[in-house]
Structure 1
């Protein structure tokens, strides 16, 4: 899969699922302002992914006009449990670079599973994405958005309720649809 295909599938997921279902009430504004950076790393190992993460954090430091980065890594950490363990490494990098409290890393994965849920539970789709990715967020911007949003603490429960209402089959179809343009181009439709 080419880099543009990975970005297109991810962008479609952000538009149709994250923004479309208002899972993150702050995402639409940044997407419309074109302040979301979609970047695909060719990292094939965890060490290479740490290097890519470091480079992206440096880019955010150097370019304040980039609000947030989706660091998509389709070639490493396909297994959700290994991915989940890697999040400790990502947080350790923030600490090592003295960027803890400045940036935050949110996690998304095709097989995302919250603790104490079944693998096929609809609520897992709040964090299921076409590819494994790390979402790098500026904490100051996040805090500002949170301060101006009513009932921010209710967002997770509202999202779980919404996902459960939609049902896992529909959500699985939505995620699969992120790849439909790619498949149509390949089959000549």
Structure 2
């Protein structure tokens, strides 16, 4: 049974608050979350082309607004590209869309997936969970915002290593206790 748009948004907010912000996996997320500058877009796509169409619309939407209104977009696709390798392959199409819209260097696309796996790690390696979200997700970020955040956080390159350490200390049981999976965001209750 398809999950509701409301549930997807609730799950993603819970993931953002409990994991990304709660574990300080991204020190830049708290500010835009607190200011309400994150746009949550749930795609009804079941096929990659439909998701690509939604991505193009969201890229145009983000580019058309000032950062104080919308600084970043999370485009979730609960019914599309559930296989991580298919999702990973789709990222080439997503990057091509940036280029076609002349937004390369203006907007960047980061990726999150329930089955995210870094190269040369085992599928159950806890460090993969830094990029695991409840649903396949394309995170659209403004390059200017990234540049400002990096200026404010001069050791940004250390974030990745710190995240790996955080996840190793947390472990699988600690991650499970965060309750950040599909249907755990509190929206269904």
Deviations 1:18-54 (A, max 9, x none): 0001100000000000000011010111100110000
Runs of 5+ consecutive residues of structure 1 not aligned to the other structure: none
CA distance in 2, matches of 1:98, 1:21: 35
Uncovered stretches (5+) of structure 2, i.e. residues with no partner: none
Structure-2 residue corresponding to 1:165: 169
CA RMSD of aligned residues (A): 1.3
1:38 is matched with 40
- What is the distance in 2 between the residues matched to 1:67 and 1:47? 25
Q: How does 1:96-115 map to 2 (within 5 A)?
A: 96-115=100-119
Pairwise CA distance, 1:147 = 1.1
The residue number in structure 2 matching 1:11 is 13
Q: TM-score, normalised by structure 2?
A: 0.93
Q: Taking structure 1 as reference, are residues 172 and 117 closer, same or farther at Cα in structure 2, changes over 3 Å only?
A: farther
Q: CA deviation at 1:177?
A: 8.0
2:138 is paired with a residue of what secondary structure? strand
Aligned position for 2:156: 152
SS in 1 for 2:157: helix
Greater share of helix residues, 1 or 2? Answer: 1
Shift of 1:142: 0.6
Distance 2:47 2:98 in 1: 19
Distance 2:185 2:14 in 1: 10
Higher RCO (C-alpha under 8 Å, 6+ residues apart): 2
Q: Which piece of structure 1 moves more, 135-144 or 170-179?
A: 170-179
Distance 1:118 1:38 in 2: 30
Cα pair 1:12 1:178 within 8 Å, conserved: no
Mapped to 2, the partners of 1:165 and 1:88 lie a distance apart of 33
TM-score under structure 1 length normalisation: 0.93
